[in-house]
Amino acid sequence: MVVGTRPEAIKLAPVVQELSRQDWAEPVVVTTGQHGEVVRETLACFGLRAQVELTLPPGGTSVTDLTAGLLSGLGTQLRSSAADAVMVQGDTSSALAGALAGFFARLPVVHVEAGLRSGDLRSPFPEEAHRRMIAELSDLHLAPTHTAHRNLLAESMAPDRIVVTGNTVIDAVIAASRRPVKGRDPLVRGIELSGAPLVLVTAHRRENWGEPIRRIGRAVADIGRRYPEVVFVVAAHMNPSVRSALEHSLRGLPNVHLPGPIPYGSFARLLARSALAITDSGGIQEEAAAFGVPVLVTRDHTERTEGIDSGLARLVGTEESEIVAAAEKEFAREGVLSGGAIRPRTTPRGNPYGDGRAAARCAAACGWLLGARPRPDDLPKDTEEQL
């Protein structure tokens, strides 16, 4: 099981836990070093650790260098292992390299979160191309939604090799939000005790690097000045240049917290009580749905179309005026304006991303692929759990 980034750790952790409970399976977590200590902390949040930790070669910063280094390290690891299958998640460079390494080793490749498509090969870049290439290399496609299933069928993937599981991030974020935060993070404790309405903000997509992220930062600063009674938590990326671009306009505002990367348990608790999320993250679009939190997506395209179709998410791009106007409209649309003040949203909606039992379906599908278990049923088409 290849884990490169924090989102991969989050989304594969429930599957590792489920496979560990099976008498036919021995999950081996291989971390690539892409997000280093952050991945270790995230796995630890679920009581897990990597059995194998690879180290990225120094110096390479381009997508080409990163992918080449990952492929070399994972290929060497697979040649020295007794693996029966390789599991990758999503659309990162680690996922692509893991799928290629598994294919070159003549091992079956299992793709968790298969079938997401934006329709534009170059947006998001390079993730859309990654996920399409991984599909061609995969022997088992674990589609998170029925929309993803249709996308795979449209690309002529074998129907009997697709299982609709739901998204494992729903399993992960619900479990993390209910788990007591170790040491009671002072940021989380302070916000929970204050009862102040909360807006959670992230930005990190490669296509937004530079001026688009700076515009997002300026827009959040504008909203923060207009609504001083609202607390904004900017959960910035671990890349220092990306973080600096986002935070530049936000420093010094009394109602804006800039904690840097937030441990996942604390992040899940904050998201669960948020009135609004502003993000370019695909994972947060899904995680917010578990709690009925509306999302402004600061991108021009999204492969998470279920959130858009359900009304949980809105595409707003990265223009400052559009983000500010959309935030104010969202406050009004959601009924979170009361007497000029904003109150946190408390009523959950139906979740288009699954029922919180995706990991069990993923594990059962792997057992079927390897001849150890019967094929599981797909996620029901009408599933919209109130979680």
Please give the Cα distance from 276 to 269 (Å, whole number). 14
pLDDT of residue 384: 45
Name the stretches of the chain with pLDDT < 50: 346-347, 384-387
Q: What is the mean pLDDT of the chain?
A: 90
| Superfamily of the domain at 185-342 | Glycogen Phosphorylase B; (3.40.50.2000)
Please give the Cα distance from 191 to 195 (Å, whole number). 6
Contact 14/359 with Cβ under 8 angstroms? yes
Same topology between domain 2-167+354-369 and domain 185-342: yes
Contact 242/213 with Cβ under 8 angstroms? yes
Please give the Cα distance from 336 to 197 (Å, whole number). 9
The helix or strand, by DSSP H or E, that contains position 16, with its residue range, turns out to be helix 6-20
Contact 313/307 with Cβ under 8 angstroms? yes
CATH of domain 2-167+354-369: 3.40.50.2000
Contact 306/294 with Cβ under 8 angstroms? no
Q: What region does 200 belong to: left with phi over 0, alpha with psi -120 to 50, or beta?
A: beta
Domain ranges of the chain: 2-167+354-369, 185-342
Residue with tokens 């299958």: 85
pLDDT of residue 387: 39
pLDDT of residue 239: 72
Closest CA to 110 of 140, 70, 71: 140
pLDDT of residue 385: 44
Please give the Cα distance from 345 to 353 (Å, whole number). 20
pLDDT of residue 337: 59
Tens of pLDDT, residue by residue over 57-87, are 776 678 899 999 999 999 999 998 899 999 9
Q: Which two tokens stand for residue 319?
A: 């223009």
Within 10 angstroms of residue 171's Cβ, the number of other Cβ atoms is: 27
Q: So which residues are the catalytic ones?
A: 91, 113, 127, 204, 206, 237
